Each structure stands twice: as C-alpha cells, then as structure tokens.
Structure 1
Amino acid sequence: MAEDLYQTLGVSRSATKDDIKKAHRKLALKYHPDKNPDDKAAQDKFKRIQEAYDVLSDEEKRAAYDRYGADFEKIRGTGFNPGAGGAAGFEGLDLEQIFGGGRGGNAQFDGFSDFFEQMMGGGAGGGARGGRPRQTRQPPAQGANLRHELEIPLEIAVRGGQTEFYLQSSSSSDKIAVNIPAGVETGTKIRLREKGQPSPNGGPPGDLILIIKVSDHPHFRRSGRNLELELPVSISEAILGAKVDVPTPAGTVTMTIPPGSSSGKRLRLKGQGVKQRDGSAGDLIVIVQVNVPETIDDESKKLIEQFADKNPQALRGNLTF
C-alpha cells in the first residue's frame, strides 16, 4: 500500500498551504542528503518528503490526490475527467506535451491532423470508409515542462549570483546550480532548458521553470528598485549628529547623521539599492530611529532635566481632535 502523503509530511488532511510548507522545511532540513551522506534510510525519507511536498503544495495535484488517492497521476495522465461527458473527457490533456513543447516555430503542429485522425477513428480517407488505415510516424515529442518554486534570500535577489537547490524526481534527487540575475523579485520566472521531464519517445527533455520567491530580510525592505533600512541611533547621535557605519549590498559605508535628526527622518544613499539589468541601481533609504535607553542613572537624569529646562519645546501645541 502506498504511503499516505499527509502522513509523510506529518500534517492533517485539512492542513493549510503554510502548514505544509513549514512541515516540509523542517523535515527536509532533518533528512537532507548533505546532512546524511551515509544514511540510505534518511536519503530515501528525503525523497518521499519531496514527492509528498510536490503533490500537496500544488492545489490541482492535491485535489486530484484527495479524490483518487495514489493513482491520481495515472488518472490525470489519461485526460479523463470522471463525471463529465462529451468533449469534457479531454480535459487535462497537456497540448504542450502532445505537440513537442512549442520548439521550432510551427513544428509543434507536425502530425496534428494524424493525431486527431487516430483519436477520432480515421477521419477523411481513413479506416472509417473501410480503406486501409493510414500509417503515420509521429515525430519525437518534447518531454513535459516542470515548475519549481525556488526561494532565495534578498541579498541574492538584489545583487544577483549563483545558488543551488535539489530537484526531486521519482528516482533521484538532483543538485542544480542556477545563476540568478540581479533585480529579480517574487514571481519572476527563470527557464532552464531541457531540465524538465524526459521525452516519452526519444525527443528532447522538457524545460524547468523556476518561480522565484524572495525571502523576507530581518532588517532591509524592498520598495521597487530601492531598499529601506531602519537605522537605530542614540540620543546623543541624533542631537549632536554623528558619522555611523551603515551596511549596504556593496559593503559597509560611512554615513553622516545630521544634528537634530528625529525618528523617521529619511536619508538617502544613492546607488546602494537594487541592481538593474542595465547596470544602474536604486537607492538605499535610511530611516532614523532614535533609541532611548529604558533606564538611566541619577546623574544622567539630572543632566537631562537641565537640558529640558534650557531647551523648552512646544511639541504638542497644535494637536487637536
């Protein structure tokens, strides 16, 4: 009996997409081949985890699995749609697979009429009139395309660079390296030629479509081609001004905090944002956040009181409801 995919990930059948993703991450880290190079059982477990995630993270596949169980791929592969009649029986056919993936201009339509002639029982000039069935030779079809969500850190999305990931198939777990261009964002698609499923009859493999997801950063936020950073500064730095070190995608730079800077003041470092394909880059917007200590000693308190006496401010005089 095939192992239940929900049990493989340790989630209930009512688990949300986030629940499934969290469970997959936890188990993938534990059983990853790099962490268990000599443990065949752990490697097999990793493969089953990846297979379960590939199905349950895809809404269409999950719905088919919930309905048909372990045989859902066979049922989906036939294009048969139980409960539907007439032409609806062809729902689910992947035309990209049938016509070779769209390579070579209009070459995907080679054998188009022959295909439907066979499907519909011979057609004009065929066996339907009692003649000799027409023998045709189908051109090699391209394998099916695969889609894979690839999560990358903000640093790689901003600067670009190479990253590696594992692509799980029914028989192996392949390590793939890919160059990420600078400036990608969540939803960007990258096509890796002939990294998809093999052809069923000797044609070229399909393509692998990577769908990029950029992880959140603990300190930086992206806003279009700009980056934003909340920079903590002390009271003395805010009042007197200071030169402080600020991290940027290109390295640490020294920035001047003007005297009298209040929380929320926005400072700009030009060209320190997200790189673009034309070689330009956005800016880094530094947002000053004055950091007030929770406790101070008595002497410091007296100094603050003296400062307040000598520097009265009418901060709330204009506040109205």
Structure 2
Amino acid sequence: MKSMIIGGIILIIALLAGTYFVAGDAFNGDDYINSLTMLGAAAIITITVFTALKYVNQMKNDTASGDLAEEKWDGIGEYRNPLPTGWAIAFIGTIIWMFWYMAIGYPINSFSQIGQWNEETLDYNAKFEKKWENPSEETLKAMGQSTFLVQCAPCHGVDAEGIDGKAQNLTKRISKEQVVHVIKNGSNSLATAYPAGMPPMMLTEDADIEAVAAYVAGGFKGEQPAMYAVCAGCHGVDGNGIEYVAPNIRAYDDALVTAVLKDGKKSNIGIMPSFDGRLNETQQKALGAYLRSLGE
C-alpha cells in the first residue's frame, strides 16, 4: 500500500508539471481566474488518482461478504451490499447541480462577451439608422464609397473596374458579353426579388442575340432591335425592369443592388457570394447611389 501511495504522489506531481508546462504562461498574478483554474485542475488530478488507488487496493485485498441476492445470472450471484456513501452523495449532488444549472447557472442568464457585443451592435445600428434616416444624395454617395472600399473593393478593385477580369467592371452598367451569357444561359440567381427568374435561350438566332446585346450594353442608344420586344415583356420597353418580375438592366437602381447583395450573382466570369445581413438598409441605398455615380 505504501508503494502505491508513493507512486500516486509521483503521478500527481507529473500530471501537475505537465499541465503547467503546457499552459503555465497563462498563470500569473494579474488574472486570478486562471489561478483558480489551476487550483481546480490540481484538485481534480489529486482526487482522481487517490480514488483510483483506493479501488485498486480494495480489489486486491478485500474479500466478498454479505447476503447473496436470489437473482443469479449464469450462476453468478450478487451480494446485497449497500450503496457506497460517497457514490450516493455524489449521485444526488449531481442531480441537484443539474437542476441548478438548468434553472439558474446556465451562462445565458449571466454576463457574456458575445451578448454584450450583440447589445452594443444593435444599439449602434439603431443610432446609425436614426442619424442617417434621411441622408442627402451627396451623403449617400460618400457613405456608399466608404462601404464599397471596405466590402466590394477586394474583388471589384478600388476603381470598381474589376481585378484581372475576375469581378464585374462596375463603372459600366453591363457588358455585351454578360448580356449574351444571360440570354444563352438564363438567370435565376436573384430568386428572392425576382422569383420567376429568366429561362435560357429566350432568343435563339445568333444575329438577334448580338443585336440585342449590343443595344443593351450600349445604354439603349440608337435604333431598338425588333427582337428586343422579347426582353421588353419582362424588363420593360425602357429596360427599367418590373417589380417582382425582372430587374433593371439599364442602371443600378436600389432594388437591383439590394437583390444582388441578398442573393449573390452568377455571371459569365464568376459567382458573387451573398452579402445578406452584412449591410443595413441605409448602407445598401448608399452603395446603389455610389455605383450609379460611377456611370456619371
């Protein structure tokens, strides 16, 4: 027994040394929480080791005694020994602790850094929306530029002309290649704002596709191709779109910008991810105002 106790003490020292070696830099005089954590670790290690030694010694030296129960399984009987007092207290204590933790001690009822951050963010957003409830067009453009540089410039570039052709050039409303791609492949990426989407190959003749694409990409200038009538049924004769049917293909209006930010966008050069929840309503309007100013 004496050798087991000595071995247990050595094991405890080794485990504590290993714990301190791994996380020792966290224990200093400036943060008592970490010191309490180390003290708790020492208590757990000590109790665990000596409990294990107790039962190992008991298995080696104790002999069975008491009255056998009537039930036997495969000839193996079981003594009617009372529950160990320590085990019974620990079991009942665990049940009591469970109800306390569920009713009072669970962290959602206490302070949390995440909860504080959420409250401060909501408070800031409320103040932001109140302050900029009715901003002027110039204010929206300035705010939109700041938003663009933070959220959009990593892909579209600080000049909004795209980076290595991997993101759309936003200084132009739409390119001929993009129009051709949408006509041939359709578009259903803006499903929230325009649930019907656009089926592919609304136009089938290459000459018609080229003529319509050139007209739309050219800013609706010049003579309107006859086959643009197929597009006008949803996008309108002037290309300004129809609410819940088809987006504006002439300018970056607020409805289109909001739809792209919410659902993302698929195009001939790649896929833009959704920015849903990252910008509030005022920031979305500001971004639209700034994008429209680029065309000016």
Q: Same fold (TM over 0.5)?
A: no
TM-score bucket (shorter structure): under 0.3
Relative to the length of structure 2, the TM-score reads 0.25
Looking at secondary structure, tell me which structure has more strand per residue.
1
| Greater gyration radius | 2
